[in-house]
């Protein structure tokens, strides 16, 4: 993964504030509506706040989009983490998320494989450290025991995303 990421560095983008942990767990949503093309009010939700900013920095904003997409399953797809299948009803597809991001930011996302692969690889590294702590008896969190299977699954997902 390291070699593939190094060999496929994307072109630099204009820097922006990057959250560093941007995913649905770190947003607060509230009910909302929008009017569709037929003039019908459609119930939806809108993000009213983004929380958990301790990893924020300045960098390529596509990193946040890649991190979000790394957690974003397509319908019927298992997540990369421990084989959990998420409900998809009402959520846009990954490609639609990218288009929404482009429309909201005025930026072009381009090929997101590098940013998604990086996000999954970084998460695998972080969780491997937690698994090591669990093996050493320094944590009794039962989730960490599952990382013996979960981390290799994440690494396989990162390789799948980039085609390595």
Q: Is residue 70 part of a domain?
A: yes
Question: Whole-prediction pTM value?
Answer: 0.84
In a structure prediction context, what are the per-residue pLDDT tens digits for the chain, which is 164 residues long? 999 999 999 999 999 999 999 998 899 999 888 888 888 888 888 889 999 999 999 999 999 999 999 988 777 666 544 445 555 667 788 999 999 999 999 999 999 999 999 999 999 999 999 999 999 999 999 999 999 999 999 999 999 998 87
C-alpha separations of 23 from 4, 76, 134, 162 in Å: 25, 20, 25, 21
Range of the domain at 76: 2-23+60-162
Q: Is residue 111 part of a domain?
A: yes
If one counts the domains in the chain, the total is: 1
Q: Is residue 148 part of a domain?
A: yes
């Amino acid at each position: 993964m390291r070699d593939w990421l190094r060999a496929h560095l994307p072109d630099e983008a204009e820097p922006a504030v990057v959250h560093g942990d941007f995913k649905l767990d770190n947003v607060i949503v509230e009910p909302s509506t929008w009017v569709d093309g037929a003039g019908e009010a459609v119930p939806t939700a809108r993000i009213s706040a983004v929380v958990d900013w301790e990893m924020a920095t300045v960098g390529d904003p596509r990193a946040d989009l890649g991190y979000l997409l790394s957690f974003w399953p397509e319908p019927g797809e298992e997540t990369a983490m421990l084989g959990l299948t998420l409900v998809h009803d009402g959520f846009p597809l990954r490609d639609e998320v990218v288009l929404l991001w482009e429309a909201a930011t005025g930026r072009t996302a381009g090929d997101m494989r590098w940013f998604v692969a990086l996000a999954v690889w970084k998460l695998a590294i972080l969780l491997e450290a937690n698994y090591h702590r669990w093996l050493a008896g320094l944590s009794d969190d039962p989730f960490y025991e599952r990382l013996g299977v979960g981390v290799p699954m994440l690494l396989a997902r990162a390789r799948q995303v980039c085609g390595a």
